[in-house]
Structure 1
Amino acid sequence: MTFSNADLLPSLLFKINHNLLALEAAIMELTLWIEQRGSGEIGGNVHNALATISKNEELINMTLAMAMTPE
């Protein structure tokens, strides 16, 4: 069985997205830890930045599902 670059691209994008979501979760844990120690302003800034990931997640997942569906 051989794979072309086009076959590998959806899998690569899926793994990159998976890594992004893992980083988001780790950053959120650190943010909660920071907020518990009284740095609400920093926590708020991080929450705002992470909101971009959340806003884009649905479109990314939908696009990846379409790219990984065999024709």
Structure 2
Amino acid sequence: MPNQYVLPDMLEKIYENQLALEAALMELTLEVERQGAGVAGENVRGALHTIGENAGHIKQSLAKLRADSSYK
């Protein structure tokens, strides 16, 4: 039985979670800003920036691991 929990697969799930959280937070941010809470919106946008940057690092790490034949 192949190992279902190898590192690239785990990173892929973390990356998918990052994208889902980013999308959900953006929806909430837009609603909060529509209601006039600009400061809260700015704070969340700062967090979204960090989430986006980290998602990029996860994706790059995942690509490097997938290229490594020991994880195939």
TM-score, normalised relative to structure 1: 0.81
Point out where structure 1 has 5 or more consecutive residues left out of the alignment: none
What's the C-alpha RMSD, in Å, of the aligned pairs? 1.8
2:8 match: 10
How far did residue 55 of structure 1 move? 2.1
Aligned to 2:47: 49
Q: How many residues align?
A: 69
CA distance in 2 between counterparts of 1:42 and 1:65 reads: 35
Query: Which one-letter code corresponds to 1:51 in the other structure?
Result: H
Of residues 56, 59, 67 in structure 2, which corresponds to 1:58? 56
Q: CA deviation at 1:70?
A: 4.7
Select the structure with the greater relative contact order (CA < 8 A; seq sep ≥ 6): 2
1:20 aligns to what?
18
Look up the match of 2:29: 31
% identical equivalent positions? 45
Larger mean CA deviation between 24-33 and 60-69 belongs to 60-69
**Partners in 2 of 1:54 and 1:16 — Cα distance?**
13
